[in-house]
Amino acid sequence: MRTRIRRSDKAFRLGGEEFLAFLYGTDQEHGRQVAEDLRQTVAAKPLIPGRSITVSIGVASYSGNRDWEEWLRRCDQNLCGAKAKGRNAVVG
């Protein structure tokens, strides 16, 4: 993930198999484009011979005047939406 985001952005592991990326100064549409690029990059890499690896990604934009807990809930809802679409998807 770090090779697909800018140096000014930050990536964190939240726990288990969940990660969070802060794409500073990025709007919702650009965030979706970055997420889609990441999804395609992972799907194209043969990380385990004979087995494909995919990611499901939820995207939500944040502005400093909003509640961060609500933003995190939207991220999680969109992630659940991506999984409900059959995985290997971006929602947001």
Q: Is 70 annotated as catalytic?
A: no
Of 17, 36, 69, 70, the catalytic one is 17
Phi and psi at residue 32, to the nearest 5°: -65, -40
3-state helix, strand, coil in the chain (%, to 5): 40, 20, 40
List the catalytic residues: 17
